[in-house]
Structure formats: structure tokens, C-alpha cells
Structure 1
Amino acid sequence: MKATLALLATVALAAGCASFKGIEPRGALADPADLKAGASLAGTPVSAAWPELDWWKRFGDSQLDRLVEEALAGSPGMRLARARADQALAAAQIARAPLGPQVGAGVDVTRQRFSGNYIFPPPIGGSSFTTTQLALSFGYELDFWGKNRAAYDAALGRARAADAEGFAARLVLSSAVAGVYVQLARSHDQLDLARRELADREAVQRLTSERVRAGLDSKLELKQVETSIPAARVRIAQAEEQIALARNQLAALLGKGPDRGLAIERPSLHVARVDLPSRVPADLLGRRPDVVASRWRAEAAARDIASAKAQFYPDVNLSALIGAQSVTLSKLLEPGSAIPSFGAAIRLPIMDGGRLRGTLAARDADYDLAVEQYNQTLSDALREVLDQLTSLRSVEVQRGEVDSALAAAEEAYSLAVARYQAGIGSLLQVLAAEMQVLEQRTLRAELQARELALSINLIRALGGGFDLQVAMQ
């Protein structure tokens, strides 16, 4: 008993030689409640619902539904994200191993001849023997200070973060497909406008030719009209180029070759209103996969600190062996062949040249880095939501103004053509009115495409249907 107490006293005294005093992290996790946004969100329509997982279906285009599902199933980026998640889960399984006992079994058979001129006299000397050993070993580390538990918790946190990052990759890919699809729709609208512009200018050309033949206009007016026709054809070619590029980009997002893009038809998207959930920013923490992943990585880094601190304390290990050993196989299982053993080992750091303190300082720095990355991600997430809402409000105002301007421009163009046909208006008036109509139609098409793109961006900023509570199940 006295020997045991002396040993424990020695251990306690020696443990004081290695200390983590004065090494602490500086980072502090931001509280979403401190990110005030009430005034900025005032007047914004809200709903109780967050975006759904298959949010792209709200735009009412079955082709888009198929493209997103095809991309999620076949994209190399998604397979890469799944591989990273599997890798992190495997690392967590490895980190869990020290929490349980280690049991092993072995059989050793050795054939050996002893020298006749060595320490063993005959009949052993000069003879050969077969030694057989059968053993069952047991080892267990008593995790008094929580080192192994903390290491496992850290690895498990990183595995959860990898899962969330996999969903973030899913959201990035689906929103990218939807975004390029909107560009494709916009390019088709631009092609329609360019073709309509060409048709209008060719009609004016025919009218002007008739007026020249009737002596009402000169060839100068005719040349002015003919000069504007190639510009319309250029815009047709530009729109067709953008359609081809969008198809190529979509094919790449699907993980397919360019020929896949040739089968993509014209989109038939419908603008879908995206309301703001009522509990932003409070619930944004559990709805953005990138924010969740950053939070889990910060918490994993905190557990790494706990594991590093536990390294300063003694390791206590138990070991046992149950086995048998014999030079003759027939006697291997006899009681006299038994070789049982049991032991306990205590190992503790005393002087290590600062290795443990350096390791702990590195873990503290890792934590500070993870915390600031989380804080930045949370701040950026809220900013992205506000940015999309601000732009959507502006687009709504602009759309009303453009609709009014387009109606006025179309009426002015009809009047200019009628006056020109009656011989009381000039060609310049017709061309100027036509340019106003074209400009307003282009603005309306761009605003519609921008509203769709902003709606997609807002859904992405709101997490695209990710739910931490569901992910934890």
C-alpha cells in the first residue's frame, strides 16, 4: 500500500512538470441574435415556410426538373463530395477505436536447433525442438482525462461537417443548373426580340421601297433602312451563340459531353415568388449547410483542444495475456503450459522540449481560425439574403416602370408607322420609335430573367431546403 501511494505521489509531482498554463484560444463564436436585421427586413413579405428540398420544381418547368436530377445523379462534383464524406466518416471510425478494448489472438510455431557447444548440455544441446505458443491478448487504455473521447468527438464533428458540405455542394450544383437554365431562357427571349426586330425592319424596308418607287422618298431613306438590317442579323447571331454556350455549360454541369446539350429544348420557366421565412436570421444557423459545416468544424476544433490538453496528463494502460507455451504440441493445453500475465502501465510527460505546448498552441490557432471562418460565413449568409431581397424589391419597381414605358413605346411606334404610311411622317420617326420599343422589350426580358435568377439566389441564400434537425436524425 505504501509503495502504491508513493508511486501515485511521484506521478502527481512529475505531472506538474508539463503544464499548459497560459495557452488559451482567443476566438468567440458569433451569436446570430446579435446580427440585427429587423430594420432592413421591414416591409418584406414573410411566411412560415423555408424553401423545400426540390425547390426548383416551383418554377414549373419539367425539363429543368429532369436536368437538376440528372446533374445530382451524375456530376463528378457530387461524387467527390460523397467520397469526402465517406473519408471523414472512416476517420471517425478510426478515432473511435481507442475507446474500447483491444483484443488479439495469435499462434506462434518455431522450429529451433540448440547448439551442442553452447550453454545447454546434451541432450538439449545438439537437438531440435518445436516451440508452440498460443495466446489471447487484451489491452485497454483508461481514458481518465477524456483524451480519446475528445479526439473521437472531433473526428465525428468533422464527419458531420463533411456531410453538410456535401449538401452545400448539392445546393451549389442545383442552383448552378437552374441559373444557367435561366440564361438559356433569356437568350431565347433575346433571339425572339432580334428576329422580331429584323422582321419589323424588313417591313419598313418594303414600305420605303414602295415610297421610293412612288416618288415619296429618296434612296437615302431606303439606304438608312437597309443599313439597320445587318445589325438585327448580328443580334440574332449573338443570341444563337449564347444559346449554344448555355447548352454546352448545362451539359458540363450534368457531367456529359456537349452533344447532351443539343437535346435541351427552350425553357418554359414561370416566375415564382419567394417569401422570406419569419425567423431570419435566428434560424439561418440551422438552414444554411455551409454555416452548419463551419459551426461543426469550429466545435471539432474545440474538442481537438480538449484532446491536446489531456496529453499533459498520465496515460494509464491495462494489459493482459492468457496463453500456453510448450515444446511439444501434445502438452500445449496442460496446466503447466499456461503463461498468464497481467499488468498496468502509467506513462506521463515530464520534459519534451515544448512539444506538447506547441501542439496545444497549434490546436488553439486552429480553433481561432475555424471560429473566424464560421463568423465570416454566418455574416456572409445574412448579407446574401439581404442582397437578394434588396435586388428583388428593385426589380419589382423597375418592372412596373418598364411595362408602362413599353406600352407607351408600342403605341408611339404604331402612330409613327401610320403617319409614315399616310405620307405625313418621316422615316426617322419610325426608326426612332422602333428603337424605343426594342429597348423596352429588351429591358423587360432582362428584368424577367433577373427576377428568376434572383429568386434562385435567394433560395440558395436561404439554404435550399437544408434542415439541421433532419440532417441529425
Structure 2
Amino acid sequence: MACAAIALALAGCAAGPDYVRPTLDIPAAYKEPGPWKSASPGSIDPHGAWWKAYRDPTLDRLIEQADAANQNIQQAQAQYRQAQATAAAARAGFWPTLGAGAGAQRAQTNTNGPKLGNTYSVGLSAAWEPDLWGAIRRSVQAGEAASQASAADLAAARLSIQAAVAQDYMQLRITDLQIDLYTRTIAAYQRALQLTQSQYASGVALRSDVALAQNQLSTTQAQALDLRAQRSQLEHALAILAGKAPANFSLAPAPSNPAQTLSLPLRLPETPTGVPSQLLERRPDIAAAERRAAAANANIGVARAAYFPALTLSASGGYSSDSFVQWFDVPGRVWALGAALAQTLFDGGLRQARSDAAVAAYDAAVAQYKQTVLTGFQEVEDNLAVLRILHDETAAQEQAVQSAQLAERLALAQYRAGTSIYLNVVAAQALALSAERSLAQLHGRQLIASVALIKAVGGGWNAAQIEPPRPAPGSTGGAPNPEHPSKAS
């Protein structure tokens, strides 16, 4: 009883430092505020599916398939379950172990002459090691923090796959847009070839004009085939992201554009970025890194608890007799109570080495956390800058497309009138095609940067979604120790 009272009195003690989130120098606002105007007003719902802001049912379906069948997500889910089981195993250390046993033995004794007899026994035993120095509590804290980190890893893996699906899908749709552009351009080049052939047959044009027109047509046809190869690769990538074999997956091309204009197949949503301090709670990779720092801090306490003696309380009781009928008689009853205190006196520096390793692991986890935060700031700034610049670049490129199309029409009209050579037509056609393809690629870069920005700000995720830690039995929830773990008690 005295040992139990001592154990309860020491229940509030825990070796090692209490955890304090590492501090960072966080700016008040982003360097790149934008702004960039969205093609279709809207915003990302922080509590919903962010990809729905693009208003594309096919994209919605692909991301739902990836969420259900992507193998990277399945792996992250299994690792999360494993982390939960590890945390549950650590919590089991709070409770005593209870065992039961039964046995039968036949033996010969030589007391008062040789005697051969049987002994039958049955009993229960219990053992409990009170968590005097908080080793189990620190283990539980480490396990639960690791479980929370794994939950954040799962959210990060899901967000990464969703963003990859969205970006590959958008790139595929931009490729469809370019294929449609090349289809219309090839048809125009075929008409131009027929024109030069007709004028050559009439003696108005040179044979070189026909050769130039044929070269222009063949080169453009080859470029169109290359676009189809790119589309096939993007379709295969989407199949893998959706958890399917490429042979079992296909995505119909976007409908052709009868207006013959480079219209954007998806709409850019408005993405609220908030302030830098919010990023710590909105990005799952930052939350995972912070939880790993908490787990590493708890492991310091586990290592330092080894410096203190371990107390084990035990009890057993049962029946032992040479006959089943005598089990319940007083002579057949057996019981025992015990306590054992053990302390390592010399270990060649093993405990100190483990403590130093735990502190070093904590320092590494803190550095990783801070680096993850800085990387998050960089990604937001990068994509804000890209979207702002691409908005201005797209406006300039649209003007370039209009000028190139006008130059193409004028050059072709002058050639028909006989006031210009066909080389001018070829140059104007090449310029128009290049300008229109550049505009399509800019649209694609805008969409991909938009998804990257959504991913950079967490995609609507919040750290409150991970499971809160469970209070440990006997925990007092004391004030945090702000000292560095290498100096804290």
C-alpha cells in the first residue's frame, strides 16, 4: 500500500521538457499580394471541395475516382492506421497486466523416503509498473503526436494527388485546345496550298510558292501529331492517378470550338490566401512537421526517464494441491504480493547517449518544421507572382494574336491580288500560329499556377481536422517549459 501511495504521489511528475511550438519570424503579409483578376468571379470554399470552383464535372469525377482508388492515398491511409495502433500500444502501458495459468506436474521426492505424486495448480497473476517518472506518458505523447502527423500526411497526400489530377487534366484540356487550333490551321493551309497550285497552273505563281505552301502544311501536320502524343501521355498519367491501368481509361477530347477562338476551357477561381500566420494551420505538411517536433520532444522525456529507478508491483493467487478435490481447502490456497525496485548503476554512457540522440532528433525536427514553413511561404509567393505576371502577359499576348491574325489576312489578300510574294504569306501564317499557340499555353500556365496556389495555401484544409491528443491518466497539464530541451530537466 505504501508503494502504491508513493506511486500516486509521483504521478504528476514527468521527465523531460514540456512541449512548446517552435517560434518563427512570420511576416505580417505576403510580398506578392497579386492582385489578379479571375475570369469568373468565385472563391474557394474552405469547407468544401476546392476543385469544384473550376466548374468542370469531368474534373470533379476524376478527383473523386483518385480519392477512392489512388494507391499513394491508400498507402498513406494504411500508415495512418499503423500510427494509430502504435499510439494505442503506448497507452496500454498505463494499465497492469493480468495473466492466468494452470499446470499439472508429476514428480518424485525423497523426503521421508521416495514418493511419487502429482501436483495440480491454477492461479491468476498481475503486475503493474507505475509511471513514476512519466516515461509512459511521454511515450503516449510521442505516439499521439506521431499519429496526428500521420493524419496530416494523409491529408497532404490527398491534396497532392488532387492537385496533380487537376493540373494534368487542365494541361490535357489545353492540349485539346491546341489540337483544335492546329486542326483549323491545317484546313486553312490546305486551302492555301490549293490556291497556290491553282495560280501556278494559271501561270501566275511560281513553283516555289507551291513548295512553300506544301512545306508549311506538312510541318504543321507533324506538329499536330506531336500534340496528340502529349495528350496520350497526359491521359495515361491521369489513369494512374485515378488508380486504373491506362488500357482501362480514356478521356474524350473537348468539343471543337465552332467560333474558332481560343476560349479558356476552364475558369480561374479567386483564391483567398489570407495572411502568412494562417499558413501554419492550413497546410497539412506544416502541421505534420510540427507534430513530429512534438513527438521528438516527448521522446526526450522517454530517454531521460531511464535515469530513475523502476518500481514493479506484483500479485498472484490461486490453488495448488495434489488433488482436484483439495483445491478449495485452506492448505491448497496460495497467494503472493511483492514489489521490486530496480536501478541501473552503470551502463557505459548508454542512457546519456540516448538522451543526446533524442535532443538531436528534436533539433532536427524543429529545423525541418521551420524549413517546411519557409517553403510554404515561398510557394505562395511564387504562385502569386506567377498569376499576377501571367495576367499581364496574357493581355499582351491577346493583342499579339489579333495583330498576327490581321497580318495573315492582309498578306493572303495581297497575294491573291498579285501584289505580294507567297513568302510573306508563309511568314504571316507562321506568326499567327505561333501567337495563338503561345496564348493557349499561357492559359494553361494560368490554370496550373492557380491549382498550385490553392495547394500552397492548403486547399481548404485546417489543422483542427486532426485528432486532438487524449489526456494521460494522472496528467496535470502543467505549464509549458520554454527552455531548450537540452537544458530542461
Deviation at 1:269, TM superposition (A): 4.2
What is the SS of the residue equivalent to 2:99?
Answer: strand
Partner of 2:321: 326
How far, CA to CA, are the matches of 1:30 and 1:446 in structure 2?
42
- Contact 1:29/1:375 (CA < 8 Å) preserved in 2? no
Partner of 2:474: none
Query: Does 2:439 correspond to 1:447?
Result: no
What is the SS of the residue equivalent to 2:345?
Answer: coil
How far, CA to CA, are the matches of 1:385 and 1:404 in structure 2?
29
Q: 1:120 aligns with which of 111, 121, 124?
A: 111
Partner of 1:79: 74
Partner of 2:258: none
Query: Does 2:297 correspond to 1:302?
Result: yes
What is the SS of the residue equivalent to 2:31?
Answer: helix
How far, CA to CA, are the matches of 1:158 and 1:140 in structure 2?
26
Deviation at 1:24, TM superposition (A): 9.9
Deviation at 1:233, TM superposition (A): 1.0
Instruction: State the identity as a percent.
Output: 30
Q: Residues 313-462 of structure 1: matches in 2 within 5 Å?
A: 313-462=308-457
Deviation at 1:213, TM superposition (A): 2.4
Answer 1 or 2: which has greater helix percent.
Answer: 1
How far, CA to CA, are the matches of 2:156 and 2:30 in structure 1?
29
How far, CA to CA, are the matches of 1:360 and 1:321 in structure 2?
36
Residue 319 to residue 188, structure 1, CA distance change in 2 (3 Å): same
Partner of 1:55: 50
Partner of 2:277: 282
Query: Does 2:31 correspond to 1:40?
Result: yes
User: 5+ residue gaps in structure 1?
Assistant: 9-19
Deviation at 1:196, TM superposition (A): 2.1
Q: Residues 12-411 of structure 1: matches in 2 within 5 Å?
A: 30-32=22-24, 34-36=25-27, 38=29, 40-42=31-33, 44=35, 51-110=46-105, 112-114=106-108, 119-122=110-113, 125-129=114-118, 131-266=119-254, 269-278=265-274, 280-411=275-406
Deviation at 1:37, TM superposition (A): 5.7
RMSD: 2.6
Deviation at 1:61, TM superposition (A): 1.5
What is the SS of the residue equivalent to 2:320?
Answer: strand
How far, CA to CA, are the matches of 1:50 and 1:306 in structure 2?
41
What is the SS of the residue equivalent to 2:234?
Answer: helix
Q: Which amino acid aligns with 1:191?
A: I
Q: Which amino acid aligns with 2:270?
A: V
Paired residues, what number? 445
Q: Which amino acid aligns with 1:352?
A: D
Deviation at 1:396, TM superposition (A): 0.2
What is the SS of the residue equivalent to 2:203?
Answer: coil
User: 5+ residue gaps in structure 2?
Assistant: 7-14, 256-263, 469-489
What is the SS of the residue equivalent to 1:349?
Answer: coil
Partner of 1:13: none
- Contact 2:271/2:454 (CA < 8 Å) preserved in 1? no
Q: Which amino acid aligns with 2:192?
A: V
Residue 431 to residue 224, structure 1, CA distance change in 2 (3 Å): same
How far, CA to CA, are the matches of 2:137 and 2:17 in structure 1?
20
TM-score (norm 2): 0.85
What is the SS of the residue equivalent to 1:127?
Answer: strand
Residue 50 to residue 44, structure 1, CA distance change in 2 (3 Å): farther
TM-score (norm 1): 0.88
Deviation at 1:155, TM superposition (A): 1.0
